[in-house]
């Protein structure tokens, strides 16, 4: 059995008209019915998750040493899609010195003083770092398309909310990403794709489990009422902003272990593709290393014992 074919990720080809219903949220249909198969896949995914964590750590070490690139991971998804858990998982394989997570909520009064991309510019990972955006500038299309009244409070020039306004926003996003890529930022965009039913289960679990109740917000339910609209705007986002240099990956997320394995896999893959190497040691350095080893191993005495 080739496990990967059952949980494989899909990147969105540039220009593809996306219908989210065509992307599964769990496992391939035939496997869902086959309980034994599902168990084997889960076991494989759990093992692969551990291996990935090590691979991630090695890849990140090289990335951090090289310092020519940075990696920007964008995480989007409906409420309860598992963004926080995925971040925790990915982070557990990284060197804390070389990564940062930025979470973006409703823009503050101060943030609204600037063009919408400003807060993302200033939160970019530095060279050598892996940066995770927990929500991103895609919310600046997503939320106000569903709740256009939000734009009334954002002190925007006339014409906001029109077709040309949205076209300009998409254009800004595409050219922002292009600019980043031109300057050594690698961009991975992940959409954690859960089903309507799975969101219901997770919300119920959130309401019933004491340690999760704090996460519940009544807006989770009101936004759920807009599920269809959210899916449609996401489809528009993927269709318009998946590019060769910054593709969207639609990650089936009904099973957390599937989503986390895939995300870690894709990060490792994208770093490995850079074919980075530790800096070459020059002849002079080699001599210095030999001399230092010789000194430490044979000649040094603890001055306190003299």
Query: Is the CB of 42 or the CB of 215 nearer to ligand ADP?
Result: 215
CB of 146 to ligand ADP, least distance (A): 9
Q: Can you tell me the distance from the alpha carbon of 276 to that of 273, in angstroms, rounded to the nearest whole number?
A: 8
Q: Name all contacts of 171-177 with Cβ < 8 Å and 24+ positions apart.
A: 172/116, 172/117, 173/117, 173/137, 173/138, 173/141, 173/241, 174/240, 174/241, 174/243, 176/117, 176/120, 176/137, 177/241, 177/243, 177/245, 177/246
Query: Is the CB of 49 or the CB of 146 nearer to ligand ADP?
Result: 146
Q: Output the CA torsion sign for 123, 145, 196, 220.
A: positive
Report which residue's Cβ sits closest to ligand ADP.
139
Query: Is the CB of 105 or the CB of 279 nearer to ligand ADP?
Result: 105
Q: Can you tell me the distance from the alpha carbon of 111 to that of 126, in angstroms, rounded to the nearest whole number?
A: 21
Query: Is the CB of 82 or the CB of 252 nearer to ligand ADP?
Result: 82
User: Does 106 contact ligand ADP by CB under 6 A?
Assistant: yes
Q: Output the CA torsion sign for 132, 137, 142, 143.
A: positive
CB of 78 to ligand ADP, least distance (A): 9
CB of 162 to ligand ADP, least distance (A): 18
User: Does 102 contact ligand ADP by CB under 6 A?
Assistant: no
CB of 77 to ligand ADP, least distance (A): 9
Query: Is the CB of 104 or the CB of 118 nearer to ligand ADP?
Result: 104
Measured from the Cβ of residue 67, the count of other Cβ atoms closer than 10 Å reads 13
The residue among 138, 247, 253 whose CA lies nearest residue 193 is 253
CB of 109 to ligand ADP, least distance (A): 13
Detail the DSSP E strand segments found in 157-252. Answer: 185-193, 248-252
Query: Is the CB of 41 or the CB of 141 nearer to ligand ADP?
Result: 141
Query: Is the CB of 104 or the CB of 245 nearer to ligand ADP?
Result: 104
**Number of residues binding to ligand ADP, judged by CB under 6 A:** 11
User: Does 91 contact ligand ADP by CB under 6 A?
Assistant: no
The residue among 159, 177, 209 whose CA lies nearest residue 73 is 177
The two three-digit tokens of residue 43, written as one number: 């076991």
Do the beta carbons of residue 241 and residue 170 sit within 8 Å? yes
Residue 193 sits at φ, ψ, to 5 deg, of: -95, 105
User: Does 104 contact ligand ADP by CB under 6 A?
Assistant: yes
What part of residues 4-63 is at the interface with ligand ADP (CB under 6 A)?
none
User: Does 105 contact ligand ADP by CB under 6 A?
Assistant: yes
What part of residues 127-166 is at the interface with ligand ADP (CB under 6 A)?
134-135, 139-140, 143, 150
Q: Can you tell me the distance from the alpha carbon of 70 to that of 120, in angstroms, rounded to the nearest whole number?
A: 14
CB of 91 to ligand ADP, least distance (A): 16
Measured from the Cβ of residue 52, the count of other Cβ atoms closer than 10 Å reads 24
Query: Is the CB of 79 or the CB of 198 nearer to ligand ADP?
Result: 79
Residues that bind ligand ADP in the complex, under the rule CB under 6 A: 79, 104-107, 134-135, 139-140, 143, 150
């Amino acid at each position: 059995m080739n496990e990967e074919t059952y949980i494989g990720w899909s990147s969105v080809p540039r220009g593809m008209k996306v219908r989210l219903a065509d992307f599964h949220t769990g496992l391939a249909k035939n496997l869902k019915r086959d309980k034994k198969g599902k168990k084997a896949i889960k076991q494989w995914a759990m093992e692969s998750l551990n291996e990935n964590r090590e691979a991630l750590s090695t890849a990140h070490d090289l990335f951090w040493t090289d310092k020519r690139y940075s990696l920007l991971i964008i995480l989007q998804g409906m409420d309860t899609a598992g963004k926080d858990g995925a971040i925790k998982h990915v982070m557990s394989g990284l060197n804390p010195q070389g990564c940062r997570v930025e979470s973006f909520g409703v823009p503050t009064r101060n943030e609204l003083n600037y063009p919408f991309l400003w807060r993302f510019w200033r939160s970019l990972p530095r060279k050598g770092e892996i940066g995770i955006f927990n929500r991103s500038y895609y919310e600046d299309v997503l939320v106000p398309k569903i709740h256009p009244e939000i734009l009334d409070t954002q002190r925007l020039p006339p014409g906001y909310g029109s077709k040309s306004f949205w076209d300009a926003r998409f254009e800004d996003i595409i050219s922002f990403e292009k600019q980043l890529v031109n300057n050594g930022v690698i961009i991975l965009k992940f959409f954690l794709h859960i089903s309507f039913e799975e969101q219901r289960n997770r919300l119920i679990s959130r309401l019933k489990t004491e340690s999760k109740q704090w996460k519940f917000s009544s807006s989770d339910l009101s936004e759920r009422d807009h599920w269809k609209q959210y899916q449609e705007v996401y489809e528009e986002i993927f269709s318009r902003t998946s590019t060769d240099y910054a593709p969207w990956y639609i990650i089936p997320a009904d099973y957390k272990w599937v989503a986390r394995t895939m995300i870690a896999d894709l990060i490792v893959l994208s770093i490995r593709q850079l074919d980075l190497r530790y800096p070459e040691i020059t002849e002079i350095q080699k001599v210095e290393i030999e001399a230092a080893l010789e000194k430490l191993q044979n000649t040094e005495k603890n001055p306190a014992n003299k």
